[in-house]
Amino acid sequence: MTTAEGAKQPPRRPMSWHRRAGLPIRIWMVVLIAIGLTHWTIPESRWLLVHVFTIGLVANSILLWSQTLAERFLGYHLPDERRPLQLGRIYTLNVGLIITMVGMLTAAWQVTLVGAVLIGGVVAWHAVAMTQLILQAQTARAERGEGPAENALNAWFFVASAALLPFGAGFGVAMAYGFADPQQAGYLLTHQALNILGFLGLAAAGVLMLMFPRLLGATGPALDARRRPYALVVLLDGIAVICAGALTDLPALAAAGVAVYLAGWLIVVVPFVPILLHRPPDSYASASITAALAWLLGSLLTYLVMLLNGPFETDRLSILSVWFLGGFAAQLLFGVMSHLLPTMMGGGPVTAAGLAQMNRWWLWRVLVINGGLLLWLLPLGSWVKVALSSLVMLGFILFLPIMILSARAAMKVRRSLQAGSAGSPAAGRSGAVAGSPLPTASAR
């Protein structure tokens, strides 16, 4: 949303809902670090690490930022009195995650089922709310005599993303109950396809086709608006074919689905290549997102080869979780947040101060994370892998203190500007718009 529009408005009030909505993300970030540092003492630590990250960080971030960015794409902002309902969804999601964790740690799949139903129900509710937002925005623009917003289609990526997670959660519960391979492996592949490739992947595609070119310094989206529907359709078709192959024990069919899904991402990514060649990444956000996309494409190619050359086995399919989550999801999440968070603090020098802090040691962080992940894939000794994973975790953990420093720097500049411009109608203006890598809504 926006920061204060002028000196007459309280500078903190418009952002208060956004800070409250982001609180669970910060809490789960600390929990994730604690689990990572003590994982050898915790039962089901691998499951906890994966799901605290995917639900605690990724799902919370998607529910928060998809709403914020969809409003931006549509040029239609919800009134403040509607925010409590949005906050209620986010907090209920976290209650569901806690219940699911209790179920897994106590080996009570019935409790896990309750938590998963709660998580799936909240995200389905979010999909309905996003659909309502799009329809309300279209109606409001029509009443003003305006055409559909140019980037309105990108909001539908968020609807499709949220619509898939409830089904993925269901297959997660089936896995918790426990089956023998190849059925268990088929459920795992379906779970991964719906949650990682669907819930996360579709949301990422919807954001990056608009955000990434501008982050690199381009003046507009790399992908023409008329071609964006093809990307969404191809990605959804790929996910559907993967699930069909997984549930019918047909690895070749699942591999075909991965190929289709990869083609969908190529529609999104290929237009980025000329921009990257002309303007190489020069910040943590742009470098981290570039690395995330490289890991995604490499993981999909590896997945394709793996499915073509072997049966469904849980151990084989689980290996790629590190690639998708560490290489793609984590770097994408922290890269996007590294740019969006400062732009939400205010425009101009406020955003510049926040971004300057976010880019602390950016090259070292990117090299350590990606170098460590690549070396971890080699057949090295267990202690070497522990050391590498610790180094990679350090690269990710640094995001938390750097985020705090960024927020403090931005707030310091904003307070200074407001103090020096007291009574000026321009004080604090521009909020999330100025300095943002995302385009404002405009009619087609």
- The residue with greater pLDDT, 220 or 156, is 156
Question: What's the average model confidence in pLDDT over 358-387?
Answer: 90
Quote the radius of gyration of the chain (alpha carbons, Å). Answer: 21
Cα separation, 183 vs 164, in Å, equals 20
Q: Tell me the residue type at 70.
A: A
Whether residue 10 lies inside any domain: the answer is yes
At residue 429, the pLDDT reads: 40
Task: Kindly indicate the confidence band of residue 428, based on its pLDDT and cuts at 50, 70 and 90.
Answer: very low
At residue 304, the pLDDT reads: 94
pLDDT surpasses 90 at 57: yes
Task: Give the pLDDT confidence of 140-149 residue by residue, as tens digits.
Answer: 888 888 877 7
Helices of type H across 359-436: 362-376, 382-397, 399-420
Q: Give, as one character, the DSSP assignment of residue 424.
A: -
Task: Give the pLDDT confidence of 263-275 residue by residue, as tens digits.
Answer: 999 999 998 999 8
Whether residue 118 lies inside any domain: the answer is yes
Task: Give the pLDDT confidence of 162-212 residue by residue, as tens digits.
Answer: 999 999 998 988 887 777 677 888 899 999 999 999 999 999 999 999 889
Tell which residue, 89, 91, 72, has the closest CA to residue 1.
72
Whether residue 291 lies inside any domain: the answer is no
Q: What is the mean pLDDT of the chain?
A: 85
At residue 437, the pLDDT reads: 56
Tell which residue, 362, 357, 341, has the closest CA to residue 435.
341
Q: 180: which 2 tokens?
A: 């023998």
User: Nearest 5°: CA angle at 87, between 49 and 195?
Assistant: 40
Q: Which domain holds residue 22?
A: 1-178
- Number of structural domains in the chain: 1
Whether residue 321 lies inside any domain: the answer is no
Whether residue 16 lies inside any domain: the answer is yes
- The residue with greater pLDDT, 78 or 65, is 65
At residue 295, the pLDDT reads: 96
Cis peptide, bond prior to residue 182, ω within 30 of zero: yes
At residue 12, the pLDDT reads: 44
Cα separation, 352 vs 358, in Å, equals 10
Tell which residue, 328, 343, 261, has the closest CA to residue 298.
328
Percent of the chain at pLDDT above 70? Answer: 90
Element of type H or E holding 106: none
Question: What's the average model confidence in pLDDT over 401-413?
Answer: 89
Q: Alpha-carbon dihedral of residues 19, 20, 22, 24, nearest 10 degrees?
A: 150
Q: Tell me the residue type at 201.
A: G
Predicted TM-score (pTM) of this structure: 0.88
Whether residue 364 lies inside any domain: the answer is no
Task: Kindly indicate the confidence band of residue 9, based on its pLDDT and cuts at 50, 70 and 90.
Answer: very low
At residue 418, the pLDDT reads: 76
Whether residue 304 lies inside any domain: the answer is no
Question: What's the average model confidence in pLDDT over 19-30?
Answer: 89
The percent helix, strand, coil of the chain (3-state, each to 5) is: 80, 0, 20
The gap from C-alpha 223 to its chain's centroid, in whole angstroms, comes to 20
- Counting DSSP H helices and E strands in the chain, the numbers are 19, 0
Whether residue 213 lies inside any domain: the answer is no
